[in-house]
Amino acid sequence: MIKLYNSANLIRKKSYILTVIAVCCLFIFYGSKNAYALDITAGATSWCALGEQKSAGADYDTVMESDPALLFGPTMSVKLSKNFNLTFVCLYGKFSYKDKDDVSPKFKSKRSDADLALNYRLNNYFKIFAGMKYLSFDMTQVEYTNGSDTSVNDGKHEFLGCGLGLSATYPIAVNLFLLATLSGFSGWGSEKVDVRGLKNFSFDAGINDYGINSNLSIAYYIASASTSISLGGRFQYFKTKYEEDNFFPVTIKNRIYGITLSAAYSFNI
């Protein structure tokens, strides 16, 4: 049963990737035929964030909290036409989790979060967008000893899904703007866990993740340098349900929030 779920997930992932590539090629071709120049904005973004993970099962309930973590990565926007633009953002960082009551062993977690979206301009203030979201993180337990039992717990969580949202840009003053984004996403993937110690245990289960992203920031455009700087906050929440409920009847909720800082340079080709 588990192998069937993983095969289905692999098929979904390949289908999503092929769809995204096809759509991107189509609109890039369309934009190049209808514009004299391709407007590009490229830069870097960072997110200083805190994380919280709640796990609830039939006979237990745990809350893990992280120390402040820094995620960073590239960001890019390509204007395809007057009303369409393609955006890409990717973030990577490392978290360190511990039990809320500081009782359970600590975990280290490497996290990747990427979004690719096609945006459509409704008017001077609002855009709607749809695209793909990739998210992965591992949970590696720091080795610990409980009596005579020394064990290590390793896990890998990975999914690919679809997203839909609305963004707004409101001018506050000359070259100063208020930016807001709200989106929802849902996707499928797999989670692998391997426990090594006095008792060895492992599983590979299909998962369904769904949640929301929200951003609010202030951006200033430096015209002489063709560069924009933005400072704000981001909140992400998503819930994980396992497809094999009878095998692993647990629901996990993740909440990540913090301060964002970005810089991007605009040019055309």
Q: Which of 9-18, 59-68, 257-266 has the lowest mean pLDDT?
A: 9-18
Question: pLDDT (tens digit, 9 = 90+) per residue, 195-224?
Answer: 766 567 677 888 899 999 999 999 999 999
Query: Which of 33-37, 71-75, 152-156 is the least confident region?
Result: 33-37
pLDDT, residue 126, reads 97
Q: How many Å apart are CA 265 and CA 44, to the nearest integer?
A: 9
Residue 262 has pLDDT above 50, yes or no: yes
Question: pLDDT value at position 245?
Answer: 60
Q: What is the mean pLDDT of residues 5-13?
A: 46
Give the tens place of pLDDT for each residue, 130-156: 999 999 988 887 655 555 555 567 788
Q: For the chain, what is the mean pLDDT?
A: 82
User: Does the pLDDT of residue 74 top 90, yes or no?
Assistant: yes
Is the CB of residue 51 less than 8 Å from the CB of residue 69? yes
- Between 104 and 97, name the one with better pLDDT: 97
How confident is the model at residue 202, as a pLDDT? Answer: 73
CATH (residue range 2-268):
2.40.128.90
Q: What is the pLDDT of residue 140?
A: 81
Q: Compute the average pLDDT of residues 115-131.
A: 95
